[in-house]
């Protein structure tokens, strides 16, 4: 399932990120690409070892852990520290699938990539082209969100960033190992959680159906979680 997560970063945070990124040292984006994806990847990114990457990553990780919608949709176990990229005119990243296992930088710890996430750091009107195109069972979905918003989608999806024809597209990207490996199970839990939240708005927390559904929700997590 594809989720739009609004306001992961505030406009003030986006402005700070952009000010720092405008004068950053950018390297070729192929450094983090797999063997096949490197052949279709033409962009730039901040080095994983750049202190600026570490600073921006810490701010973003803190923001996503505090975002209730992200938590409900991803049910994250661990987050691979975010990276940051830019696409200038004629740059793109053709259709590819993300690596299934990735290292947490600076460690030997490996994580399974269940979900991919892109946080947009440019407003849609700042550039032309540059849509994130995600393929799923129902076809192709073009995603181009306001700065500070994120899109969360299964890492199993084929996806691309279309060619930039004008302007520059800044973004962050990262992966999540979820407590719930299967996308269909995460979707069921997300839908159940949404229903519980709505019932809590309409009734108090002691409403019998709220208690019953909450019990089901947590017991399903106990049944399916991998920690």
pTM score, whole prediction: 0.94
Q: In what order do the strands lie in the sheet with 132-136?
A: 41-42, 92-96, 159-161, 132-136, 139-143
What angle is formed at CA 151 by the lines to CA 159 and CA 1, rounded to 5 degrees? 75
155 burial level (CB within 10 Å; 0-12, 13-18, 19+): buried
Tell me the pLDDT band of 33, cut-offs 50, 70 and 90.
Answer: low
89 within 8 A of 164, measured Cβ to Cβ? yes
Q: Are residues 100 and 137 in the same domain?
A: yes
Q: Are residues 48 and 143 in the same domain?
A: yes
Q: What digits encode the pLDDT tens for the residues 131-176?
A: 999 998 889 999 999 999 999 999 999 999 999 999 999 999 999 9
Q: Are residues 7 and 89 in the same domain?
A: yes
Q: Are residues 59 and 31 in the same domain?
A: yes
Query: Which helix (DSSP H) or strand (DSSP E) does residue 45 occupy?
Result: strand 44-46
Q: What digits encode the pLDDT tens for the residues 49-78?
A: 999 999 999 999 999 999 999 999 999 999
Q: Are residues 88 and 191 in the same domain?
A: no
Reading the block at residue 198, the tokens are 């709505």
Cα 126 → chain centroid: 21
């Amino acid at each position: 399932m594809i989720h739009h997560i609004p306001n992961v970063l505030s406009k003030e945070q986006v402005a700070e990120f952009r000010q720092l990124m405008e004068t950053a040292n950018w390297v070729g984006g192929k450094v983090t690409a797999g063997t096949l994806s490197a052949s279709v990847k033409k962009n730039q990114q901040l080095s994983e070892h750049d202190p600026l990457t570490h600073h921006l990553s810490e701010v973003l990780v803190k923001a996503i852990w505090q975002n209730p919608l992200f938590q409900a949709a991803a049910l994250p176990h661990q987050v691979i520290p975010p990276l940051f990229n830019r696409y200038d005119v004629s740059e793109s990243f053709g259709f590819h699938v993300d690596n299934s296992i990735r290292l947490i930088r600076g460690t030997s710890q490996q994580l399974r990539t269940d979900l991919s996430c892109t946080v947009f750091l440019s407003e849609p009107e700042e550039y032309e082209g540059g849509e994130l195109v995600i393929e799923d069972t129902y076809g192709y979905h073009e995603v181009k969100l306001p700065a500070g918003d994120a899109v969360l989608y299964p890492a199993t999806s084929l996806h691309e960033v279309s060619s930039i024809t004008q302007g520059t597209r800044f973004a962050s990207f990262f992966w999540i190992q979820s407590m719930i490996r299967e996308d269909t199970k995460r979707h069921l839990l997300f839908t159940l959680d949404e229903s519980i939240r709505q019932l809590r708005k309409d009734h108090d927390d002691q409403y019998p159906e709220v208690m019953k559904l909450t019990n089901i929700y947590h017991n399903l997590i106990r049944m399916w979680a991998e920690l």
